[in-house]
Amino acid sequence: MINKNIVAIGGGGFGRSLGELKIEKYITSLVKKERPKICFIPTASGDNDLYKLNFYRAFSKLNCITSHIDFFSRTVNLEQKVLSQDIIYVGGGNTKSMLAVWKAWNLDNILKIGYEKGIIMSGVSAGAICWFEKGITDSFADKLQIIDCLGIVKGIACPHYDEEKEREPFVKEIIKKNKINSCICIEGNCALHIKNDFDYESINFGNKKKCFKILKKNNEFIHDYF
């Protein structure tokens, strides 16, 4: 049986500070190899050079074979690149723009194939919500919005739930108005590890941070913790 894994990070990690690399160590520990191959996809940040540098600094410390994919300079053969990896890590930034670029290059379908083959899919913020059916994003300057994502796993996800003050009221409002039934909320310095599509585990790498599903029952909001 092929084990399938997604590690969706609500905020934090090497993009902010190298620190102890707790969540990065967790992700690499899922691969039973001395030197796992990990590929960074920083599309949502416009292939930001400093972001790429921090990726190499972080995962080189963890004895990984590191590489990345650019879309705003010459782009490698995506199928060959993605399907030869042990881990894919997607960076944060503008989710809507990222998904549009991926679709133009057919990366959305290649990532789905990679997931089914057992390649670990991971990422932070935009790189966390992209795996779900829908995500709550700040890609738009004036307000949060719900957008369609890759649909690899079920549900609607919101990162930075406790880090950005507009997130919680927005989620509760759209549930209250029955625009969505529930939302998977991922706090900063926390990740949701989804195993084989349906097994959810909250991974805290901060100060007692959590992941949970929020829904409304009898006009009250219920927090179902993972």
Domain-wise residue ranges, the chain? 5-155+190-206
Residues of the chain with pLDDT below 50 are none
> What pLDDT score does 174 carry?
94
Superfamily name and number for 5-155+190-206: Class I glutamine amidotransferase (GATase) domain (3.40.50.880)
Give the separation between CA 156 and CA 133, rounded to whole angstroms.
6
> What pLDDT score does 99 carry?
98
> What pLDDT score does 63 carry?
95
Q: Tokens 């790189």 label which residue?
A: 127
CA-CA distances (angstroms) from residue 9 to 35, 100, 176, 204, 226? 22, 21, 26, 10, 14
> What pLDDT score does 16 carry?
84
Give the residue numbers marked as catalytic.
Answer: 125, 160
Per-residue b or e along 193-209, where b marks 16 or more CB atoms closer than 10 Å to that residue's CB: bbeeeeebebbebbeeb
> What pLDDT score does 18 carry?
84
Helical H segments across 2-48, by residue range: 22-29
Give the separation between CA 86 and CA 31, rounded to whole angstroms.
7
Q: What length is written for the chain? A: 226
> What pLDDT score does 141 carry?
85
> What pLDDT score does 1 carry?
85
Strands 153-158, 182-186: pairing kind:
parallel
3-state secondary structure of 51: helix
Q: Where are the beta strands (DSSP E) in 160-210?
A: 182-186, 190-195, 199-204
